Structure 1
């Protein structure tokens, strides 16, 4: 047992029974497919997808133990081709002895396509049961061929009650600190849980360090507020990776909150991203995009305000410039919304791509030289400022042979109400021009 105590607390507390597994009740409650498969020793290949510290490796080891299968772990970060081949050969030898093998690959998303494909024949032949663990969205990080041969299970962030249960187990069981007298006030437990941010491994690391620092020669550890504050002084590191799902999920939440006219939620997600270490200039660029895509001409001031916020961030830096981002986000969330320009732009893009290099009508061409004028460039062009109401009613500005299309449909919100009225008046002038000609 003394030797065992040199192992990290998180490793010592790995559960060996389904009943001891903390969290993931949506997967491991009796009656759930994964619970029944593990409980009955029925193996299948799978991908365990979830944030760090949610039990992916622990679950894989437990599955192997319950099924009485050999567990061969590999790390996609550290393992090379030689180690992969060695693991496959070991699995073949075990299969010859009628023993099943679980090949567990941590950080499987770090393997490239050819490395992932290397496992496929061995999965199909039954040489191995493949379990991959990933923090990245399997839809983007893994090959379709591998996904088609493995079921994906989504592990969720551990909740406060799960982490409280984990602390109790660490303090009471022999594998943890059951042989010590540990005093840790409730408020310090809450500090550790908040700083862990749903990560069991991080929580147990906090607890282990605190106990080690507070332990005296009488096997007693009293964890004081001063000690806890010193440990957490560097601040917690939130789950945020500019290459990962947390990044895209949170920017999506910010965008949708602004689009949904929810200023409070918009500010919350803005602060979540800043708290997680997101580059404020990235957020500034996204706010400019949102101003055009979701507000548009319903309130053109939003575009200018978002640009001003970007400039403020560049000039002032953090944290002063971030207030300008908050101002822009709150204003844009409250502004009238229109995606009319966005939709019109997409429709015009499709037609521009489909029609190819159709020529500009001759009356719309510029004629800066004598030759161009002799060729008729600009002939019959109607100068709008010389027309009644400053509008050349009935004039066509599309290429010859291409039927004019109404791409832009202003919505009944904000400034676009006035724009719609203007366009309606111009259409009436066009219709009158056509009627007069006929």
Structure 2
């Protein structure tokens, strides 16, 4: 629809006007479309269209490819958005598809569902018998991991195709096509700036360029014009989705791998993308226990202090304390000995019986308990040589002592290991 207001003609956004209508205009996702891949086989007319999920970040071509596939297959097209659609609309589409199936028309029927992860389990279940029977080919598009957002029954009937953010080559081509459409020039610096701002998202690129072109009226678009049109740029991020968990995983693994610069990079990526610094602080506390442990007990104190500093100062001042903690954690000795010992002991306790506490280890606050033998024979370690009761047994009776904590040869655990070895030697000699 077109309209005119104050002599200005309203038209669809540039991203819609430039949407490819055929593969000749397509850019990107070569890993999905090279010869011999399932999608390429459909586009070549050698196979029927099949039900699938197109999973990837915004602006990478999921909806566009779905439309091209349906058009190339000469299929009937039905489209829904899970954001605005309820079960009633789903049933209406199913009814329309059934009417077509009962007619003489033998063409495939395609139901495209945008943002399919927003459908709840009941809505997803409504598709199952019709995908199974072939009433329609279901193509879902989502920015979220289908493994988490789609129920297993529906997911088992779909092929998942993972899209990637558009690379620089594809974005350069799209930028030049857009400049021609807008009848403006893009210098090299402006193009580089635009591609960087796009961050793999063609829709973002086109929206920024369209806004920039309005302000220069047919002149050359410069990097300054792009920066003014873009406003405050944000990296790709999702506070609760895959981008979030992928990046916190990268931060954790960079710290574990003792690379302070990479760890700082992922910290800054998350902060720039809008991650809650308090969540990052909690993760750093976990890292201090899980990956540094007793190799450097100061790590836990430092992360707790960084969390406290952030709570007192907030952003941006408090973020420096988080950066300090990240660098420290990345640089110090690592040990997951306590983490592994804790996990193994929990597993043992959960599968073992409820063994009684030995009498000599029991609490004896009353005369009755003492008369029953509670605490009898207990050797108080501080009264023993070197404050150690050699040969004493602290596990339940008739239970073989477990040795699940094995200090590593790094940091403070070198000394802990030596101390435990000495105590074990004394245990063998007895009292």
Report if TM-score (shorter chain) is over 0.5.
Answer: yes
- Cα distance in 1, alignment partners of residues 268 and 124 from structure 2: 37
Q: What is the match of residue 140 of structure 2? A: 132
Q: Secondary structure at the match of 1:47?
A: strand
User: What are structure 2's unaligned runs of at least 5 residues?
Assistant: 4-8
Q: What is the match of residue 6 of structure 2? A: none
Aligned to 1:87, which of 93, 106, 120? 93
Q: Secondary structure at the match of 2:110?
A: strand
Is 1:12 paired with 2:17? yes
Q: What is the match of residue 163 of structure 2? A: 155
- Kept after mapping to 2: 8 A contact 1:94/1:100: no
Q: Secondary structure at the match of 1:414?
A: coil
Q: How much has 1:5 moved relative to structure 2?
A: 7.5
Q: What is the match of residue 115 of structure 1? A: 123
Q: What is the match of residue 415 of structure 1? A: 412
| Structure 1 segment 357-372 matched on structure 2, within 5 A | 357-372=354-369
| Structure 1 segment 24-103 matched on structure 2, within 5 A | 24-40=29-45, 42-95=48-101, 96=103, 97-103=105-111
Q: How much has 1:274 moved relative to structure 2?
A: 0.5
- Cα distance in 2, alignment partners of residues 129 and 254 from structure 1: 40
Q: How much has 1:184 moved relative to structure 2?
A: 2.5
Aligned to 1:342, which of 330, 339, 342? 339
| RMSD between aligned residues | 1.7
Q: What is the match of residue 144 of structure 1? A: 152
Q: How much has 1:352 moved relative to structure 2?
A: 2.2
Q: What is the match of residue 242 of structure 2? A: 245
Q: Deviations over 1:167-186 (max 9, x none)?
A: 112223xxx33xx3x12222
Aligned to 1:207, which of 190, 206, 209? 209
TM-score (norm: length of structure 2): 0.94
- Cα distance in 2, alignment partners of residues 372 and 323 from structure 1: 55
Q: How much has 1:221 moved relative to structure 2?
A: 3.9
Aligned to 2:186, which of 160, 177, 184? 184
Q: Which moved more, 1:104-113 or 1:5-14?
A: 5-14
Judged with a 3 Å threshold, the aligned counterparts in structure 2 of structure 1 residues 5 and 44 are, in CA distance, closer, same or farther, namely: farther
- Cα distance in 1, alignment partners of residues 347 and 108 from structure 2: 55
- Cα distance in 2, alignment partners of residues 186 and 256 from structure 1: 37
How many residue pairs are counted as aligned between the two chains?
423
Q: Deviations over 1:24-61 (max 9, x none)?
A: 00011233221122221521000000001010000100
Q: What is the match of residue 330 of structure 2? A: 333
- Cα distance in 1, alignment partners of residues 359 and 351 from structure 2: 21
Q: Secondary structure at the match of 1:105?
A: strand
Q: How much has 1:351 moved relative to structure 2?
A: 2.1
TM-score (norm: length of structure 1): 0.93
User: What are structure 1's unaligned runs of at least 5 residues?
Assistant: none
- Kept after mapping to 2: 8 A contact 1:18/1:28: no
Q: Which moved more, 1:163-172 or 1:133-142?
A: 163-172
- Cα distance in 2, alignment partners of residues 11 and 101 from structure 1: 24
- Cα distance in 2, alignment partners of residues 133 and 49 from structure 1: 6
